[in-house]
Chains A and B, each alone.
Chain A
C-alpha cells in the first residue's frame, strides 16, 4: 500500500505528524506493508490534511483527513466517507494551468529522482547550451514580469546585470513573503525546492554570477529547513556546478520584502530602504550588480527554458504574459493555490472556484495583493486578472493573494489596520510613510470614536495622496490603496462605531 501525506506547513499545522505516525501504526497493526511518501501540498488547502492512495487508476484523495478516518481507509477505500476520487480530476486542480507549480504535490520535495523524473533540470540543461545573452533574451521573450508584485520585466533586469562589469555578481531570491493572504513562495519551497534552486542556477549562468542568497522569512521554519536540505542535496549531487547558494533568515520585518531593504538586511544592517537610482541590477548586494527576483519569478524560469519562451507567452492577457499562482485566502470556502493564465475574472476566482465565503454569509469585500492592495466589492467582480487591469482599477495584483471577507467586516477597521500596520513596519527613512501612517491611524481612530468631522475625511484623503506620491517605497506608497478603496467603496462604515466594536 502506498500513501501520500504532505509535509507542508499547513498539513503540519493541522496535526500532520501525528496523523503520519497513526497511519504507520495502523498499517503495522494490520500487517499491511506501507510506503508513506511525504509529498508537497497540492495547494488545495481546504482539503488538508489530504491523504492520497496510489492505485492503478491514479491517486485517490481523502480529506480533510483525521485520525478517526484511518480504519475505513484500510477497510474499504472506495466507500470511505472522505473519498474525493482521483485527485487529478478534482475541478479545482483540473481547471488550473500549472506551469510553475507543475510538480507541487506530485513528488517528494527532497527526492532528486522524483525531480528528474518529472522534468527537473531540463531548463538548466538547455541554459548550458546557450550564451548568457541568449538566456536573457529568452526570458525577455517570455514576457515574464516580477511576481513579487512590482511587475518589472525579468529578462530586462537580467540583461542589465549581465552587461554590468564586475568581479562579483549576485543572485538574490526574495523569499520574504510577508503579505497576508500569500503563501505561493512557501508552498513552492516546501513542495518543489529544487525548482527554485534550478531557476537561480540559470540566473547565475545568464548574468555570470557565482554566489546566491535566498532571503527567507523567519516565520517559515519548515521552508527554511527544507530549502537548506535541498541546497545541500543539489550541491552534493553536482547540479550547481560551482554556484554557491545559501539561505539567510529574516527577522520579522515586513519592509525587508522591499528589495533594497532586503539587500541592506543581507549586508547585516537595519532594513532601511535605499533610494533608487542606482538600481540593484547595477549597485546591489555589497555594491555589486545583483539580480533580485521573487521566488515565483525564479521558479518559473526552468519551465521557460525547457519549454520555450513562446509556449509561456502564449498564456495571458495584454502585457501580463504567462500564468500567475493566485492564492485564495481568508473567509473562503475553497481556499488554496490556483495557478492560471492571466485574464480570469475576480468573480470567477472567488465565487466560482473559491466557492464564496467559508462562513456561508454574503461576501462583502476582497483584498487583492496583500496588505498594500486595494479592496474590491462584488460589483467590480468582472475585473480581469492582470497587472495593468488592476492598476487601472486603483489597485494591484501584488504577489497574487486574494483575501475574502464576509458581511461582518467593518471596512473602517480594515483601513485603520492598514495604517497601523504601515506605522508598525515603516523603516522610518522617509517622512510620508513614517509620520503619515501614524497621523492617519490617529485620524481614523478619531473618526471611528465619534469625534471626527467631514473635514477629517478630506484630510485623510489628502494624507493618502501625499503618502502615495512622496513615499520612497511601496510600503508608504501603497498603504493608501486599502485605505482609499475602503473609504470609496464602503463610506457607510466610516462613521462612529459602537463602543464595543471600536
Chain B
C-alpha cells in the first residue's frame, strides 16, 4: 500500500466515471493514474460500484499489460522491443543496459527509482530505436543515450 491510497478518493474517481458506456477501463486507468497501480481494495470498490464480481474486475485488470498490481519504481522506462526497433539494434542496446544494471525485463532497481519494461511499438518506427520514460518518448537512441535515460533517474 502506498502513502497516497485513499478509499474516499478511489470512490470519487469511480463515481465520476459511472455515467460512461462501458466504464471499467476508464475507471482502471483513472485509478492507476492516481495511485500508480491498482490496489486490491480499489478493484473491490470498482466491482461494488459496477455491480459485477471481484473476479470479473480482476480478470479485466490482469488481462491488460498496462495495469499493475504492484507499485512500479518512481520512474518507468519502457523500451521498444518490436521489429522496427530491432532492425536498428534496439534489442542489443536494451539487453546491454539490462545486464549493466543487473535488471531483467519488468524489474525495478533496488533503490526503487526505476522500472524497466518492454513496450511493443511506440509508432516512431522511422526514427528507431525508441523508448518512453514517464510518458515522454525518445527516438534515435543509441546504446549511450539509452543508458543515459536510465542513469539520469537512478
Interface residues of A (CB under 8 A from B): 9-10, 12-14, 45-46, 48, 177-183, 185-186, 211, 218-222, 246, 248-254, 265-272, 286, 327-332, 335-336, 358, 367, 371, 401, 403-406, 409, 414, 417, 421, 424-425
Contacts and interface: CB of A to CB of B under 8 A. Distances in A.
B121 A251 contact: no
Interface in B102-123: 119-123
A10 B124 contact: yes
Interface of A is mostly: mixed
B43 interface: no
A252 B60 CA distance: 12
Given A181-B84, A331-B87, A403-B87, A9 B124 contact: yes
Contacts of A254: 120
Which of A250, A267, A269, A424 has the largest count of B CB atoms less than 10 A from its CB? A269
Contacts of B28: 251
Given A252-B66, A417-B83, A14 B26 contact: no
Contacts of B123: 9, 177, 182-183, 185-186, 219-220
B13 interface: no
Given A269-B60, A367-B83, A371-B82, A180 B65 contact: no
Contacts of B21: 211, 286
B67 interface: yes
A219 B83 contact: no
A270 B59 CA distance: 7
Contacts, number: 152
Contacts of B125: 180-183, 327, 329-330, 335, 401, 403
B98 interface: no
Nearest to B122: A219
A14 B82 contact: no
A124 B137 CA distance: 35
Interface of B is mostly: loop
B137 A13 contact: yes
Contact of B127 (A10, A178, A270, A409): A10
B127 A180 contact: no
B143 interface: no
B85 A249 contact: no
Interface string B71-88: 000000000001111111
Contacts of A367: 83
Given A182-B123, A269-B60, A358-B88, A10 B67 contact: no
B82 to A, nearest CB: 3
Contacts of A403: 83-84, 87, 125
A155 to B, nearest CB: 27
A180 B128 CA distance: 11
Contact of B86 (A10, A46, A265, A417): A417
Given A270-B59, A271-B64, A336 B126 contact: yes
Contacts of B85: 180
B137 A12 contact: yes
Contacts of B128: 329-330
A221 B135 contact: yes
A77 to B, nearest CB: 25
12 contacts: A13-B136, A182-B123, A211-B21, A250-B66, A253-B65, A270-B59, A331-B87, A335-B126, A335-B127, A414-B86, A417-B86, A421-B82
A270 B61 CA distance: 8
A13 B126 contact: no
3 A-B pairs with the lowest CB-CB distances in the bound complex, closest first = A335-B126, A268-B24, A180-B82
B67 A251 contact: yes
A183 B124 contact: yes
Given A221-B135, A249-B25, A13 B130 contact: yes
A263 to B, nearest CB: 9
Contacts of A414: 83, 86
Contacts of B25: 248-249, 251, 265-266, 268
A409 B87 contact: yes
Contact of A421 (B66, B120, B136): B120
A328 B126 CA distance: 7
Given A180-B125, A218-B66, A330-B88, 6 more contacts: A46-B126, A182-B121, A220-B122, A403-B84, A403-B87, A417-B86
B23 interface: yes
Contacts of B135: 221
B154 interface: no
B140 interface: yes
Nearest to B129: A330
Which of A182, A251, A401 has the largest count of B CB atoms less than 10 A from its CB? A251
